[in-house]
Amino acid sequence: MPADQSLKPIISTIPQKPGVYHFYDSDGEVIYVGKAKNLKRRVSSYFTKTHKRLKTKNLVSKITNIRCIIVETEIDALLLENNLIKKHQPRYNILLKDDKSYPWICIKREEFPRVFQTRNVVKDGSEYFGPYMSGYVVNVLLDYFSELFYDNGFTPDSYLNRKVSRSSKDNYQKTIDEIRKILKGDIKTIIGSLKNRMLDFSEKLDFENAQKTKEKISLLNNYQSKSAIVSSKINNVDVFSICSEKNFAFVNYLKITSGAVVLSHSVEIKKRLSEDDESILQFVITDLRRRFNSVSKTIFCSHRINCIWPETKLIVPLIGDKKKLIELSLRNAKYMQFEKKKLNLMAKEKKEKTSSLFRLKEDLKLKLIPSHIECFDNSNLQGTNPVAACVVFKNGRPSKKEYRLFNIKTVVGPDDYKSMEEVVFRRYKRLINEKKNLPQLIVIDGGKGQLSSAVKSLKQLNIDGQIAIIGIAKRLEEIYFPNDSTPLYLDKKSSSLKLIQQLRNEAHRFGINHHRRKRVSEKIKTSLDNISGIGPKTSTLLLKKFGSVKNLMKADYKTVQSLIGKSKAKKIFGDT
């Protein structure tokens, strides 16, 4: 696709260096951020290649400006791209639908280190262990560590305030070393200690605390079982795999420590352009390694990609235990993919089966689910100020911006039938002329007479039979169909009837409010507007203050005078 003439000078100045590029639209919004080893070659490719995907064509068509940031290395470009995508959230970039913050256990870099839980990993030389998927596991571990300090003679006060003598320093450091060993994966010591404590509670007939201790053991055993032993030869390794479909990709990350899987984390990625699995993996690996503070020097990956992480070795295993890790990771990624599809399908089926629109389709024997419904109601007072209202519901909810009001033009006197015929004709003649979508269902507030009048208009427009139409009579809430004198009575508690009543009531409310405003306007016009020197603005001000002309005439003269002035007050009340 040829570049826009205004962009050619910009592209010609882009250097052949690694960096990040931004695409902007006509509103100055960032619509895409990308990284490249060679910026000039990558950016130029958007305008020289023929793109097959419609989204890529749309992106290129919206580009009005390009800006670049030069960096030293490709890894710097990838990290910068990651930050800028999170900052700007461009509409054409892939979206990571996950940003959870997990708990860590920190051994603070201090003379007498503190041990505590945190969700913020700070590069201050302290040791961070985790992340943990369960906050309760963290609490169990911290409780046990507290007891280790107490067992070694440290009181809460001495621990919190670091009142530890030099002679006790070695003992303190031994406790920290034991905690560090446990955090690196050796929780057998904790479980053994908890089992002894549980037996002590049982012997003392303290069954409540024995049960609580047993639950802690069970929790830690479950936690340990999830950290399945892989191989004693595999240590401190990150494992990544991806399974992909047209619009989404699913990446799983396994963290291997001391021959055990200590973390399994999956993310869903929404594709925006034609991103391949390799580029997605580069993006996600960078994000997850930074998020989980990984310093592993080895990555096992399901796809062969360029390793742009300094001093890190990337391997695509083919056999043995390493290959089994890839298969395990891939199963987790596919599980997330399957779960997403399953949940979406279940939600869709549940919504369709339980929705009032589905029930309405079944109860009225409609051909389609009526996602677009319109309802009409007439309002008048002894034939004066006749108006009509049309309310629109989309997907079972009011679409108020599409509501319409009609002043009756061709009918003289109180004639609901003729009024209904007029407004239905005007409404759908206009929709047809403007080539807008017609509703799947029309609801008429009224019985057989109003319904027949509406059907007459549909026939004049040659759309009779294309739209389902019913009438609802107020007295017994009968539902009438065209050419059928026998009404349908829906269950008073059914969601179908409640939706029809909601439509009818909303149309009545909308129409009657307009009718009242019109009546008030007419009333003002025949009284105040006939007084010389009292204009529309003054009339509106008085009506807003007193509500009606009758209330105005009962009002205190001085109050009216303070509102509109002495001269105008005299014109209304005369000399007082």
Closest CA to 441 of 485, 472, 411, 484: 472
Length of the chain: 576
Q: Determine if the pTM surpasses 0.85.
A: no
Closest CA to 335 of 237, 241, 247: 241
- Average the pLDDT over each of 37-46, 58-67, 380-389, 428-437 and give the range with the smallest value: 380-389
* pLDDT tens figures, 267-284: 999 888 878 899 999 999
User: Residue 416: which region, alpha, beta or left (left: phi > 0; alpha: psi -120 to 50)?
Assistant: alpha
Beta carbons within 8 Å of 267's beta carbon, 6+ residues apart: 96, 97, 98, 250, 251, 253, 284, 288
Beta-strand ranges (E) seen in 358-459 are 372-381, 384-394, 397-398, 404-407, 441-445
* pLDDT tens figures, 507-557: 988 888 776 776 666 555 556 667 777 877 887 788 778 877 778 888 888
CB atoms within 10 A of CB 207: 11
Closest CA to 42 of 69, 11, 7, 70: 11
- Predicted pLDDT at 229: 47
* pLDDT tens figures, 461-499: 999 889 999 999 887 899 999 988 889 999 888 889 999
Q: Phi and psi at residue 3, in whole multiples of 5°?
A: -75, 150
3-state secondary structure of 251: strand
**8 Å CB contact between 421 and 432:** no
- Our measurement of the distance from residue 215's CA atom to the centroid of its chain's CA atoms, rounded to an integer in Å, reads 37
Q: Per-residue pLDDT averaged across 407-426, rounded?
A: 86
d(CA 163, CA 176): 16
Q: Is the pLDDT of residue 130 over 80?
A: no
Got the DSSP string for 477-528?
A: TEEEETTEEEEE---TT-HHHHHHHHHHHHHHHHHHHHHHHHHHHHHHHHHG
**8 Å CB contact between 17 and 76:** no
d(CA 22, CA 30): 6
d(CA 32, CA 68): 12
Give me the chain's average pLDDT, please.
83
- Confidence grade of residue 99 (pLDDT, cut at 50, 70, 90): low
Q: Per-residue pLDDT averaged across 235-262, rounded?
A: 86
d(CA 329, CA 332): 5
Beta carbons within 8 Å of 15's beta carbon, 6+ residues apart: 39, 40, 68, 70
Give the chain's domains with CATH numbers.
8-93 (3.40.1440.10), 104-226 (no CATH), 237-342 (3.30.420), 361-516 (3.30.420.340), 531-573 (no CATH)
CA quadruple 452, 458, 462, 463: dihedral positive or negative? negative
**8 Å CB contact between 266 and 357:** no
Amino acid of residue 67: R
Helix (H) or strand (E) holding 244: strand 237-244
